[in-house]
Amino acid sequence: MPNEKITLVSFLGKGFRDRQTNTYRPATYQLPGQPPWEKTMYIGQALARHVPNVAKFVILGTASSMWDVFALDMAGEDEGSIDALAELELAVREDRVTQAMLDTVAPTLSARIGCQVCPCLIGYARDAQEQVEVLQVLSEQVSVGDSVVLDVTHGFRHLPMLGLVASRYLQHAREAQTQAIYYGALEMTKPPPPAPDGITPVLNLNGMLQMLDWVDALAVYQRTGDYGQMSHLMSDAGMATDKAQQWKQAAFFERNMAAELAVPKLNHAQKAVSELESPLVKLFRPALQQRMQWAREPSRALRELALADGYLKRSDYLRGVFYLYECMLTTEVFKDPGSYEQLPPFEARKNAAKSLKESHWPHFGQLEYLRNTLAHGVRSDSEDVLQALKTEEQLLVFIENLRKALKPSMPAR
pLDDT for 357 equals: 81
What are the pLDDT digits (tens) for 138-159?
999 999 999 999 999 988 888 8
What are the pLDDT digits (tens) for 346-401?
888 888 888 888 775 678 889 999 999 998 887 878 899 999 999 999 999 999 99
pTM over 0.85? The answer is no
What are the pLDDT digits (tens) for 51-72?
999 999 999 999 989 888 887 7
Using pLDDT thresholds of 50, 70 and 90, give the confidence band for residue 1: very low
Using pLDDT thresholds of 50, 70 and 90, give the confidence band for residue 217: confident
pLDDT for 250 equals: 92
**pLDDT higher than 70, residue 194:** no
pLDDT for 158 equals: 84
Residue 349: name the closest of 374, 326, 319 by CA.
Answer: 326
- Which of these ranges, 14-18, 167-171, 189-193, has the smallest mean pLDDT? 14-18
